[in-house]
Structure 1
Amino acid sequence: MTQLIKIQALTADELLKEFELTEPEAADVVIPDTAPQISIERLMEAGYYQDAIKLLAHGLPKREAVWWACLAARKAQKPDTDEHNINALLATETWARKPTEDHRQRCKELGEKTQYKTAASWAATAASWCTGSMTPPGEPEVPPPAYLYAHAVAGSITLASATIDPEKIEDNYKLFLAQGIDLARGGNGMIEGA
């Protein structure tokens, strides 16, 4: 695998401190004192896709991680997707291209309106947790914890994987992981077959 140049963490352990593995057995697969790439690959090979998604989401820079959630949410949208979820995804894509405070606030508003029930909702929430304050304007500022956005990104991608076609969830995980790895290599996540 080509180097994951966008992941700045030197070891998987730096990232593993920020979340719990979904599957306890996955702990036997990761190698904490090596580059995150090694553990991501091993998790994928062992079929621990949710944990590979979590580790990669924590390793990617914020904008790339949110863009990854956008790619998954876009794939999960259907012709009957409601207006709030369509707008949540559009706002999040806008934030990923131009991360201004106004765009972040729009993502926060739409994440709340969509009630955290869809991949688009969690993508918008991820963007809103990247910077700024978690409190409403005018209240004392409370910055989000450093990796809170990554939890929302992983949730968005996992939810998209289950929403598209539950019968093909493993294929969906693999597709989204391929997109995330492309982003980690410096690509745009737009891979063939997506």
Structure 2
Amino acid sequence: MTDRFSGMTKTPQMPAARMLADANARLSVKLEAPASAPLDVVLTELEEKGAVIDILRLLGVALPARERVWWSCLAARDYVGEAPDNNTPALAASEEWVFRPTPENRDKAGATIDLAEPDDETVNCAMGVLYSDGTLGSGDLANVPAPLGAAEVVAFAMNVVAMDKHEEDFDTYVQLLIDRGVDIARGGNGKLDRENASAEKEE
């Protein structure tokens, strides 16, 4: 087994199947690994099967809340552009919450969702902030559970949106998204050069 997915110390120490179940998420491929298999084993099998979408889905489930939102923000920045000139309200507020995860910043991010332009996909980042603790917000909304797995699925969705905007270098970019998630799971900042992304394995 390769060490591409080793050392992901910020992810929960539980079977990958349990993480998926807790987030109401499913993979599209049938795994040979047992239900007790840890995250790195399942990710390695998915890589061997070429199931890159499932790898992204599982990373979105495995990353903790702040790291998950940061992963989605980096994907958004890939096509929106650098701050501050290319900020969207949702993206800027989401990044602010990552650096200072206060209730006030969470509310600020949540407030950008309804005000966003219809074609602003960066609201996925803000939704990840809003649902970060499994509820619909702060105050009275703290007692209202968010849809199961909502925070995880919007982070995955943000990466898929960014992926769809990189048709010219699709394979390389997908590997960057994966390596970025792994780096964040290891405690890194995820700011990897595209040239350093793992090359897609040949058949």
**TM-based fold match above 0.5:** yes
| TM-score (norm. length: structure 1) | 0.83
Aligned to 2:25: 19
Q: How far apart, CA to CA, are the structure 2 residues paired with 1:142 and 1:149?
A: 14
> In the alignment, residue 53 of structure 1 is paired with which amino acid?
L
Give the unaligned 5+ runs of structure 1: none
Match for 1:5: what amino acid? T
What is the alpha-carbon distance in structure 2 between the residues aligned to residue 70 and residue 139 of structure 1? Answer: 24
| Correspondences of 1:147-158 after superposition (within 5 Å) | 147-158=149-160
**Aligned residue-pair number:** 187
Match of 2:51 among 48, 51, 62: 48
TM-score by length of 2: 0.80
Aligned to 1:38: 41
Determine the C-alpha separation between the residues in 2 that align with 1:87 and 1:166: 26
SS in 2 for 1:27: coil
User: Which deviations, in whole Å up to 9, do the C-alpha atoms of 1:38-71 show, x marking residues without a partner?
Assistant: 1122213322111111111111111011111011
Deviation at 1:4, TM superposition (A): 0.9
Query: How far, CA to CA, are the matches of 2:30 and 2:118 in structure 1?
Result: 29
Q: Could you tell which deviates more after superposition, 122-131 or 39-48?
A: 39-48
Change (3 A) 1:36 1:115: farther
Quote the RMSD (CA, aligned, Å): 2.7
Secondary structure in 1 aligned to 2:122? helix
- Given that 1:118 and 1:156 are in contact with CA atoms closer than 8 Å, whether structure 2 keeps it comes out as no
1:171 CA displacement: 2.1
User: What whole-Å deviation, never above 9, does each CA across 1:148-171 have from its counterpart, x for those lacking one?
Assistant: 2111111111111112x2243332
The answer to whether the 8 Å contact 2:135/2:144 transfers is yes
Question: CA separation of 1:130/1:169 partners in 2, compared to 1, >3 Å: closer, same or farther?
Answer: same
Partner of 1:129: 131
Q: How many Å separate the matches in 2 of 1:143 and 1:32?
A: 27
Tell me how far apart the structure 2 counterparts of residues 65 and 132 of structure 1 sit (CA, whole Å): 13
Deviation at 1:116, TM superposition (A): 7.2
CA distance in 1, matches of 2:124, 2:53: 16
Is contact 2:130–2:137 with CA below 8 Å preserved after alignment? no
Change in 2 beyond 3 A, CA 1:32/1:169 = farther
Matched, 1:93 2:99: no
Q: 1:43 to 1:113 in 2, by over 3 A?
A: farther
Identity of aligned residues (%): 26
Quick one: which amino acid aligns to residue 59 of structure 2? L
Does residue 1:143 correspond to 2:149, yes or no?
no
Q: Deviation of residue 87 (structure 1)?
A: 1.8
Match of 1:95, SS state, is helix
User: Alpha-carbon deviations, 1:134-159, whole Å to 9, x = none?
Assistant: 27966684132563211111111111
**Contact 1:158–1:173 (CA under 8 A) maintained in structure 2:** no
Indicate the residue corresponding to 1:6 in structure 2: 10
CA distance in 2, matches of 1:139, 1:33: 35
